[in-house]
Amino acid sequence: MNWWEPLLPTLRLITVTIVSSLALGIPAAWAATTLARHRKPAPQITQLFLLLMVVAIATPMILHAAAWEATAGKFGWLSLSQTATRWVPGFAGLFACGWIHGIFGSAIVTLATWYGTQLVPQSLLQGASLDAPPLRIWWTVQLPLAWPWILSATILNAALAATEMTVVDLYGYRTIADAFYLRYAIDPNLTSIMVTLALPMCFAFALITVLLSKMRSLRSESGAVQFDGWASGSVSERPSRWITYVAVAILFLALLLIIAIPIAGLIGKLGHDVIVEGGNRSAHWSWSRAIHELVVAPRTFASEYQWTLMLGGLTGLLATAFAWPLAAIGRQHRRAETMIDVISVMLFCIPGPIIGMAVVSLFQVPFPGSRFLYETTIIPTVLAISVRATTIAYWILRSGYRGIPEHVLESVKLESTLSRRIWQIDRPLLATSLLISVIAAGIVASGDVPVTLPVAPPGVSTVGTRLFGLLHSGARYQEAALAAWYLGLVCLMILITATHVRRRHDKMVSRFH
């Protein structure tokens, strides 16, 4: 196989993804920061916007593809309406793949940019406010200083575009990861594996370099830079009316593209119907049809929902159980933490089909019970989808450990063993992080279609794999209902987590006051 053929499309997709995600994500982060300095209810709107960005990132890529396919795909409601037939047929190939990856990546860039700009020292911002207005301060001071986080988000988006084959396979756009899945997933050779891994590993090492250098600089500052949730205290001057209008418009546009239009596409497809009479085509929307499709979907796809919940729940618990000791060890030993960081990023950047085939090869080794475990249990499937999920769980718990004061860990370091300390001391302090870890890892694992496809035993079909098969012929009513319930479950889990975090935060604040 000539690997130059899929390499060039891969690079084009990466370029489109990076440009589009930066073009929307950075202005959206500025708009969120600007509105956070305004009077109520603007700060609350900003918090809701950032929470919705978290929802967009946590939503599996297959759901993003299903939503946009239901909106502008082959049988999308825009494609079947007379007003959109002129431009919607172009939603295919590089345009469709770049659009979906770019919209998904813009949520990552938004959060990374917003977070990075909050870490700018208050003293620096107060000094800059004497000579420049808030608008100039954000673009000339805060944004340049946030470059490590923006660059990390950019590299992550590039890595996802290079390794994720769900979207590109739907639209027939052949990247390296998709070419490996189509031609070598059954019988891979060393050359195909090395070529498929080359570009993702370059992104992995670049991401590792940026993250480790930034973390060292934060450690050297010895706590001088504190994250203060909102930038409202960084620049006390409120934005002018026209700047506020621009910020609201940008935030509204970001919400439309990232959240509102895809969800509206799913809902619209549920009740969208086309009637042909006398050679004339007319489209209309029916509440009764939408409700009917939603009601029958849990019965029609009961098996898919059950397997998705089971695999997601088991994997969330397993990934957290793997990641927790690693995060605890890394908190006490800097060198071990660096090594774990490197390995976790590398594992996350491995394309899903390679992970799946590695697990399949592992269970092909002739040892007692291997064939039985592979053909009749979900153990290989859980192990395969735990790879990326464990990485997610590790970084969440790693962040949780960073929130524990150093003197607390030092005081119990010599009084108990590692296992006892983790369960008796760390567990209450990490309760919120553990909950987030289980839910986040479970959501990621439940939608990891590229890994699940090669290892799922006969009769096991998740919502993601079923959607992947159905969407190749276009999004219809059943596919929209299947995706809608899955999306609703993801949103519900994130809402429960956010509510728990908020209540715990308010309780801690009330203790200090």
Q: Kindly state whether residues 213 and 319 are assigned to the same domain.
A: no
313 touches 378 (CB < 8 A): no
Same-domain status, 293 and 185:
no
**Residue 486 and residue 451 in one domain:** yes
Q: Look at residue 114 and tell me whether its pLDDT is greater than 90.
A: yes
Q: What is the CATH number of the domain that holds 192?
A: 1.10.3720.10
Does 452 score more than 60 pLDDT? yes
Coil, helix or strand for 145? helix
Task: Report the pLDDT value the prediction gives residue 112, as an integer from 0 to 100.
Answer: 96
Q: Are residues 220 and 297 in the same domain?
A: no
> What is the residue type of 108?
I
SS (H, E, C) 305-374: HHHHHHHHHHHHHHHHHHHHHHHHHHHHCHHHHHHHHHHHHHHHCCCHHHHHHHHHHHCCCCCCCHHHHH
Does some domain include residue 454? yes
The string of pLDDT tens digits covering residues 415-451 is 667 777 787 888 888 989 999 999 999 999 999 999 9
> Virtual CA dihedral for 283, 92, 489, 484, nearest 10 degrees?
10
Average pLDDT over residues 180-197: 84
Q: Are residues 263 and 298 in the same domain?
A: no
Task: Examine the domain organization and report whether 210 and 302 are in the same domain.
Answer: no
**Domain, as residue range, for 253:** 1-272
Residues 207 and 295 in one domain: no
Partners of 276 in beta bridges? 281
| pLDDT(361) > 50 | yes
Q: Which of 272, 300, 326 is the last residue of a domain?
A: 272
Residue 142 φ then ψ, to 5°: -65, -45
- Beta partners for residue 280, in sequence order: 277
Q: CB 446: neighbour CB atoms within 10 A?
A: 28
The percent of the chain in helix, strand and coil, each rounded to the nearest 5, is 75, 0, 20
13-22, 77-86, 228-237, 461-470 — which one is most confidently predicted on average?
Answer: 13-22
Query: What confidence score (pLDDT) does residue 51 get?
Result: 93
Work out how many domains the chain is built from and give that number: 2
* Residue among 13, 310, 21 at smallest CA distance from 164: 13
Distances (CA, A) of 142 to 118, 131, 157, 209, 235: 8, 15, 22, 22, 11
The predicted-structure confidence for 255-301, as pLDDT tens digits, reads as follows 999 999 999 988 888 877 666 666 666 667 778 888 988 999 999 99
Report d(CA 131, CA 136) in Å as an integer: 10
Q: Residue 206 corresponds to which tokens in the numbers above?
A: 């670049």
Could you tell me if residue 510 is inside a domain? yes
Q: Which of 64-78, 111-125, 144-158 has the lowest mean pLDDT?
A: 64-78
In terms of domains, do 325 and 433 share one? yes
pLDDT at residue number 88: 52
* Residues 309, 255 share a domain: no
Task: Check whether 87 has a pLDDT greater than 60.
Answer: no
Task: Please state which of the ranges 124-128, 376-380, 433-437, 459-463 shows the lowest mean pLDDT.
Answer: 124-128
Please give the pLDDT value at position 230. Answer: 45
Give per-residue pLDDT as tens, 36-85. Answer: 888 778 888 999 999 999 999 999 999 999 999 888 877 776 766 655 44
Radius of gyration of the chain (CA): 24
